[in-house]
Amino acid sequence: MKKHNFNAGPAILPSSVLEKASQAVLELESTGLSILEISHRSKEFVDIMERARDLALELAGLTGKGYQALFLQGGASLQFYSTALNLLEHKGAYIDTGTWSHKALTEAQFVGNIDIVASSRDNGYRNIPTSYTIPKDADYLHITTNNTIYGTEYFEYPEVNIPLIADMSSDIFSKEMPFDKFALIYAGAQKNIGSAGATLVIVREDILGKVTHKIPTYLNYQVHIKNQSMTNTPPTFAVYTCLLTMEWLKKQGGIKAIEAKNKEKARILYEEVDRNPLFKGYADIKDRSRMNVVFNLTNESLTDRFNTLWSEAGINGIKGHRSVGGYRASIYNALPIESVQLLVDVMKHFEKTV
């Protein structure tokens, strides 16, 4: 029996994507070859890559606006360093809102000077800072739009006159966003875009080529743009699942339609967290993530009993990150509302049994 998948990533994929991807493992679109063995230089795969790159820009509303979409490898973790390498000349400005934003600024320090202009670390990363000053010599401002581990999310974005860079791994394409406010966006695919192994990078070309230091070939965005994401052998299967997932999203009515569903899922779950005396939310209410609902038990001695209940109900992946403890329900685009309702029913049942 298929479990209700609340994993933070690799995360749930739409059932139709799983079906098409599994068929392609045996044979891709009457080619006589598997997607796992097809040449990345073949007409069939070049078409897949082009369609995926074009659709990413279309969903973001960035077609014809000077942006390029790339499908690369190394996850968001490699982009922590690559973004700084391509953009940092004088100083990089960073807002620290969680584990992944902190890792991003740590990697940037290998390139040059950085300034942490704001941080919610002292508050246990429970909120999004709103007060900060950007240094005059900053080359860019970097934010992480959704913080998977602590369950916070940006709903308003910084107004700056320098390039705004964002790690959107956990909330990209989950809601309508002013994508054209950002000069560079990157996201690991394994949450809302597709399967693990691919990373989407969307970059406005006019911000590139301005640093004076040399950039290694594979980490140079201009090289990847020139080679249309084919500088090396791309992760063919992962790119294909990204294409299928974005096509699925478009068929759902696009980002606007999926945002309405995501709002409803988050509302249902947060209402139960707030109502049920056995649970308490982690993040400040105004900054709560719609993608990652983080909560704890008010009485940790009941942990084993609650764990047994949700596990027996066929729920998977809600244990919280070790740095926070408790529980984290990741309710990404593909998670059906029925799964969220099941978790809420388990929480209500748990209350009655205590």
Residues noted as catalytic: 100, 167, 191
Nearest to 165 by CA among 228, 80, 55: 80
Distance of CA 178 to the CA centre of its chain: 16
What are the phi and psi torsion angles at 198 (to 5°)?
-125, 150
CA distance 298 to 192: 31
Q: Residue 126: which of 318, 326, 263 has the closest Cα? A: 326
Instruction: Give 291: exposed, middle or buried? Use CB within 10 Å, 0-12, 13-18, 19+.
Output: buried
Identify the three-state secondary structure at position 19. helix
Computed on alpha carbons and rounded to an integer, the radius of gyration of the chain in Å comes to 21
Structure tokens at 90: 């004088």
Residue type, 298: T
> Alpha helices, DSSP H only, in 109-229?
221-226
Separation of CA 108 from chain center: 20
**What distance in Å separates the CA atoms of residue 144 and residue 77, rounded to the nearest whole number?**
12
294 SS3 class: strand
DSSP type of residue 63:
T
Give counts: helices (H), strands (E), the chain.
Answer: 9, 14
| Cis status, amide bond into 10, omega within 30 of 0 | yes
CA-closest candidate to residue 70, choices 173, 218, 212:
218
Q: What whole-number distance in Å separates Cα of residue 332 and Cα of residue 191?
A: 7
Q: Report the candidate in 348, 340, 330 with the shortest Cα–Cα distance to residue 151.
A: 330
Terminal CA-to-CA distance of the chain, rounded, Å?
29
